[in-house]
Structure 1
């Protein structure tokens, strides 16, 4: 009994220590975003300011185009997510519930695709987009991420756990394969779709590498790229507004995850991922 209590106490302490290490940069960012300038550069380390400097948020929203950066990020991540679902769900359904030649080979290629980082294909994609003349557009930010090996794998794992008899009954009732995918399969794997949406939105909302290559127009800057523009401006030397802008950009992801965390864990459990 004592050994079990000690083991649980040690495990809890390690988890709390890991959580503190991960959350510390965010807590420090929140602290700096509401601190006066003189306290930010003080030699004393204090999380709580003597007074709340809300002017930092006003400066962040007025001296830079943070609302535009947020809008661009929303357009890009939602565009990517919608197209990923449109293509990944039918592909996963075919791999999980349909029998055809080379199905194992195709699934093996999907798994191999998980091992290839996007940076390897970035230069060929950039050259192709330059030839097509679609750089500095929303399409340049969306198109490279529509094919998603991870999405196909995740949905395939979730769909493969659904009873085959359900799909056979739908075919007997006269439903087409397309109708089976969107009217039966997709609602049943909605928790997996929620989990995938969180992965996708988080990855592309925070992506700086590709927007830095594919766009040069400030009007198309996504949130991370917008932070770079903020640093280039005169107000960028003011750490308080900079941290306020970073907090505004980070907050939507945190809120979205807190609202969808139950569906997120259900989706991972349903897809068999550990």
Structure 2
């Protein structure tokens, strides 16, 4: 006698198993709304920095004594400041100043950080120890304090502010490059290249440098946000571009005396700084996940 066992059909149980597997990669491939918003805002800031006249065609330095501390309206979207200057126009034109300082400072930090990190990673033990201890000593200072110390020595101004922020960003970048260089230095292909007599410059350019710059774009994007925030803070203290320059930090400094009667002169430039830094951080974290191979 034979027994036949018939399994009941249960499409309700089988369907989730068949459809849930491809759904997870689809979610991972989906675009995050926060990233889209951050990218759109950064595109607007870049447009304002490159062609501010397209967004705010007015003169950021033009004053109207009859419209002093006027609240936001259809004519002046962000109101006017204590001299009757249009705050919207100044915020838009200020993007160029703030981004220029931040980008220049980040460029200084990246260039110097890569050079110092390569030197420390490829140098002999004593030189590596000396450079590493120097970087550790600089890292012990908060970024703003380190920048303030430099400005106190050379004096305030846009150039000194930019260099100071670049120096303040340098230690972290250099330490990351040094760590990457030490890993690459111990790789088998590098040891073989040294054994075959490859010169030190060619070794660095062909084998070491291309393999240590991977995290640099991530650090540069996040560092740009830190640089813009530091530049605004130091300009607020009078260490950067001076009035009537439409720089975001300088606008915060000018508007703080009228915060009770004209909040828009301080709050709105502060919002521009905050959104820019947050957007750069979101973009940097996304790049970091891609670099680490975590596509969530």
TM-score (norm 1): 0.60
Task: Give the structure 1 partner of residue 131 of structure 2.
Answer: 106
Task: Give the structure 2 partner of residue 204 of structure 1.
Answer: 227
Deviations for 1:1-31, whole angstroms, at most 9, x for unmatched residues?
Answer: xxxxxxxxxxxxxxxxxxxxxxxxxxxxxxx
Contact 1:192 1:266 in 2 (8 A): no
Q: CA RMSD in A?
A: 3.7
* 2:161 corresponds to which of 121, 141, 145: 141
Alignment of 1:59 onto 2:78: yes
Task: Give the structure 1 partner of residue 69 of structure 2.
Answer: none
Number of corresponding residues: 210
In the TM superposition, what are the counterparts of 1:86-165 in structure 2 within 5 Å? 86-118=111-143, 125-130=150-155, 135-136=156-157, 138-147=158-167, 148-162=170-184, 163-165=186-188
The worse-fitting range, judged by mean Cα deviation, of 157-166 and 75-84 is 157-166
Aligned partner of residue 215 in structure 2, secondary structure:
helix
- Larger C-alpha radius of gyration, 1 or 2? 2
TM-score (norm 2): 0.56
Higher helix share: 1
Q: Which runs of 4+ in 1 moved over 6 A?
A: none
Residue segments in structure 2 that go unaligned for 5+ positions in a row: 1-71
Deviations for 1:202-260, whole angstroms, at most 9, x for unmatched residues?
Answer: 222112443324236125564233223244469x8344675444333333333333333
| Distance (whole Å) between structure 2 residues aligned to residue 56 and residue 156 of structure 1 | 54
For residue 81 of structure 1, report the CA deviation from its aligned partner.
1.0
Aligned partner of residue 136 in structure 2, secondary structure:
helix
* 1:75 corresponds to which of 91, 94, 100: 100
Aligned partner of residue 104 in structure 1, secondary structure:
helix
For residue 79 of structure 1, report the CA deviation from its aligned partner.
0.6
* 2:218 corresponds to which of 190, 195, 207: 195
| Distance (whole Å) between structure 2 residues aligned to residue 195 and residue 113 of structure 1 | 21
